[in-house]
Chain A
Amino acid sequence: MRDAARFSLDRVTCRYDGKVAVQDVSMEVPAAGVTAFIGPSGCGKSTILRCFNRMNDVVPGFSLSGEVRLDGQDIYARDTDPVAIRRRVGMVFQRSNPFPASIFDNVAYGLRLHTRISRPDLEMRVEQALRAAALWDEVKDRLDSPASALSGGQQQRLCIARALAVDPEVLLFDEPASALDPISTQRVEELVTELGKRLTVVIVTHNLQQATRVADRTAFFLLGQLVEMGPTVDIFTRPRDPRTEQYVSGRFG
């Protein structure tokens, strides 16, 4: 039995100022579990990730051809609202980027933006999001403190809580742990694994060990193309393509 596809890409080509960054990528990302994107810098993995919630729209000179579908809906169609897409498809970046506001307001921000919500409901949803991000116990007594007072690892989990608060169906992670120490990295990885049980999670990572730890399946990109995608254990023990073999065995370049 095949997993239902959350995203399906059909011959997607991306350009920045006419320069090709992603070339003719067709792939499906199943709804269940964690999918990792790996590949050397400049291979197009982050560009593809940003296609999933139209984050590239804000980049000047960006253009896309082909189709990106979310549950069958063409997300680059003229009548698709990118804001609605981003509510369903959240994103967490490499550098944590909390707003200059309190811990509470950071998490509440999206809820206030997207919905009319009573104060008790808001407080409940903020708590749920912070619990889901494994941060609640550390911050419950200081929700009004500035987010900037948190450690780097805590700030990253706050950003995850902020993304979770609006109840997305998909969470995209762009190297979420590359700026974190090993302990904070481990917590983020645990969180990614946990979230993968109920959301579609896609994670871009340079850390191959991280991909082996968190991802159910892994896609390898090279020079803007998808080389190979498969179960993570297969990609790392018996890759089909010699370019994947070279990359995962550390002989690339």
Chain B
Amino acid sequence: MEHPLDHDVNELKTLLVTMAGEVERQLELAVRALVERDSALAQEVIASDATIDRREIEVDHRAVELIVRHRPMARDLRLVVAATKVAPDLERVADHAVGIARQAVVLNAVPPLKPFITLPHMASTAGGMVHDAIDAFVRNDSQLARRVVARDDAVDAMHEQIFRELLTYMMEEPRTIPRALALLIVARSLERIGDQATNIAEQVVYLVEAEDIRHQKPSEEARG
């Protein structure tokens, strides 16, 4: 028979994975709403956000329940701590997806500024980081988690590139400013999503290896 502690631990993990699946889908749809200029889809994303918010609360409740019932130790304790930190990160990813969807609604109402090139690539990289971070969580794979952390630099570089490109548009033609700013907000959201995925991956390393790797990136220090 399954140990009651294992049962509750598995339920908590399942809940988090369910939430992660929903968040990934939100992000995917938001990006598609933008790239395919589908405002109805964008509205769908905005309307679904409440579900994700409830999941975050549910994870917290389950975690507290688990602490009360089992007083978890060692890996179980680290799992509960990690779960309560991962859920808000996922919730924020979903918030960014809503942010992207809102900008999509704005941008879809006007002619496109330029063809999408870097942005979809950045979206799939950041989205892939979230996916892999959760995958690492499910499979207790801290090596995969460490690789997710390493990928954040690529997302940051794309953000930088998009920023410079849009700056050029704005400087050359002030009428492009509203659209360029909207696109900048989207790029900024994707950059933040990369950071959330990094946070999640860091929690996976803590869960698996009991090592806290947060705030250790030398490049991060240099940037201040």
Contact = CB atoms under 8 A, between A and B. Distances in A.
B210 A250 contact: no
Prevailing SS type, chain B contact patch: helix
B121 interface: no
Given A249-B5, A251-B5, A238 B74 contact: yes
Interface stretch (B65-73, B103-111, B214-222): B65-73
Given A237-B210, A238-B210, A250 B70 contact: yes
A248 B73 contact: yes
Contacts of B77: 236-237
Prevailing SS type, chain A contact patch: helix
A251 B75 CA distance: 12
A250 B71 CA distance: 9
A239 interface: yes
A249 B210 contact: no
Contacts of B78: 237-238
Nearest to A239: B74
A239 B74 CA distance: 7
Interface string A238-253: 1100001100111100
A118 interface: no
Interface in A213-253: 236-239, 244-245, 248-251
A96 to B, nearest CB: 27
Interface of B: 3, 5-6, 70-78, 210
27 contacts: A209-B71, A236-B73, A236-B74, A236-B77, A237-B73, A237-B74, A237-B77, A237-B78, A237-B210, A238-B78, A238-B210, A239-B74, A244-B74, A245-B74, A245-B75, A248-B73, A248-B74, A249-B72, A249-B73, A249-B74, A249-B75, A250-B5, A250-B70, A250-B71, A251-B3, A251-B5, A251-B6
